[in-house]
Amino acid sequence: MNEVIYRLLFLVNSNKEKDIYYTIAWTMLNNIKKVPKLNINQLADMCYTSSATISRFIKKLQYESFSEFKEQVDLNLKYYRLKASFNPKFIQEKSSTPDELTNDFYDLVINNLKQTSENLDIRKLDKLVEYIYRYKKIAFFGMQFSQYISMEIQTMLLMLGKLVTAFVDMQEQYQYVDDMDENSLAIILTVAGRVANTELIKKIKNKKAKLVIITQNPNTQYMEEADLVLLYGNPDVKSVESLVGGRYALLSVIDMIYYRYESLYNHTK
């Protein structure tokens, strides 16, 4: 899925000049549920600009047409409506009081963390840390939540003197793979294993890069293509418990990577 909402958010977050493109992105985000129902002239009027400027803005976001852009917005909205992690009803249906809601939610998170502590293979994690130490060209890949976790580990490793690559846009990930080779390390973060179902893995393997997958899903498609698979958390990735708790457990795995790298290879203390 294209990251259309993330692209709009990134443009707003990174635009210091508050130009017309900032205004368009900000207006769209404030009216995001209306966008799929608007024609280009209606959106232009909403943004106090011309349809030609809207067209240029759409091209800047790397979409071929306004119709394609609206289609992607609609797909993203449907995705978030269905995604358990962003659906408050998933736990409200089980919890009749605020106290029950609190207990149920944190029990869910704690249980996933316990499962991670039990099934995380520290030898495999240390092998990954060794790869990170050895390889010069390293990139972390992911979608949405995993994408931002990638930027977190990027900052953490930088503090230990190791520079790796992370991305704010899916399109950038595919472009980066074009320059990978047998001396490159690709690390895919995916709570439910869905990223591994894309063409990304095939493209990485065609470049003969070393491939690592970090996921809860023991049945991730193309897993046999990976050089190393690091499993954690709740393997029942179709369950709400796995999808919601897995986000927090992934953060714990990232912290473990940081701690082990610092322990094994950071000699600048």
Q: Mind listing the pLDDT tens digit of every residue in the chain (269 residues)?
A: 457 887 888 888 877 778 999 999 999 999 999 999 999 999 999 999 999 999 999 998 889 999 999 998 998 887 776 665 555 666 556 666 778 778 888 998 999 999 999 999 999 999 999 999 999 999 999 877 888 889 899 999 999 999 999 987 777 888 899 999 999 999 999 888 766 556 788 889 999 999 999 999 998 877 888 999 999 999 988 777 888 889 999 999 999 999 999 999 976 55
Q: Enumerate helices (H) and strands (E) in the chain, giving the number of each.
A: 12, 4
CA angle 163, 4, 175 (to 5 degrees): 45
Residue 191 is given by DSSP the state: S
The CATH code of domain 4-82 reads: 1.10.10.10
DSSP-assigned letter for residue 221 = T
Domain residue ranges of the chain, discontinuous segments joined by +: 4-82, 98-265
The hierarchical CATH code for the domain 98-265 is: 3.40.50.10490
pLDDT, residue 228, reads: 96
- Bridge partner list, 155: none
- Res 195: pLDDT: 62
Q: Please give the Cα distance from 7 to 207 (Å, whole number).
A: 27
105 alpha carbon, distance to own chain's centre = 22
pTM for this structure?
0.79
Long-range contacts of 86-94 (CB under 8 A, 24+ apart): 90/240, 90/244, 91/240
User: SS3 of 189, please?
Assistant: strand
Q: What is the rounded distance in angstroms from the CA atom of residue 258 to the CA atom of residue 265?
A: 10
